[in-house]
Amino acid sequence: MAGDPVRCGWPTDDPLYLGYHDDEWGRPTTDPHRLFEKVCLEGFQSGLSWITILRKRENFRAAFAGFDFATVAGFGGSDVERLLGDAGIIRHRGKIEATINNAQRACEMVEREGSLVDWFWDWAVETPDRGPDGSVPASTDRSAALAKELKRRGWRFFGPTTAYAFMQSEGLTNDHEVECFVYDACEAERRAFHPTLR
């Protein structure tokens, strides 16, 4: 439609998808629960389309206590069974158990590092990695290193590809196309948020 802003090529015309692209993807969050949500939902998305996750996001938030990792860390076997019976989310035992495990690891990280947000933002990159043809890769050396470090710390269901998708969503890298109408805004937010990118 004439007059529509230029966007990245991946969102469909679904209003939910467009809103996510325009208002969330690539923008930093200072809320540790929202950041933890991004980590978890990228794990749940593995093997599925992102729009499927977006459509279930409010259900995920209700099921996982708003992704308050201190609360989720206390989930036990009865909670796993409850979640496996919840048709509003992705009922995958491995992903559910990984989310509970990762909540426990997030609590440990806060105790050791002081801030979940600051720790993850130390993985931000100045400029995105690109393939020889300029294409956006599925993973990078940086995302592989992030995934390896989290695995060392006991996190689960967070490989290099999931790590890179998280980096994109959180703004640790700016993978909006340069022509996209939100590219400049996302870049400004990233640089205002993290001093080493200035």
Catalytic residue positions, numbered: 20, 42, 50
Q: Are 158 and 39 a contacting pair, CB within 8 Å?
A: yes
Query: Do residues 60 and 45 make contact, with C-beta atoms less than 8 angstroms apart?
Result: no
Distance (Å, whole) CA 198 – CA 189: 11
Give the three-class secondary structure for 140. Answer: coil
Contacts of 192 (CB under 8 A, 6+ apart): none
CA distances from 196 to 24, 73, 97, 125, 167 (A): 22, 32, 35, 9, 16
Tokens coding 159: 């490989």
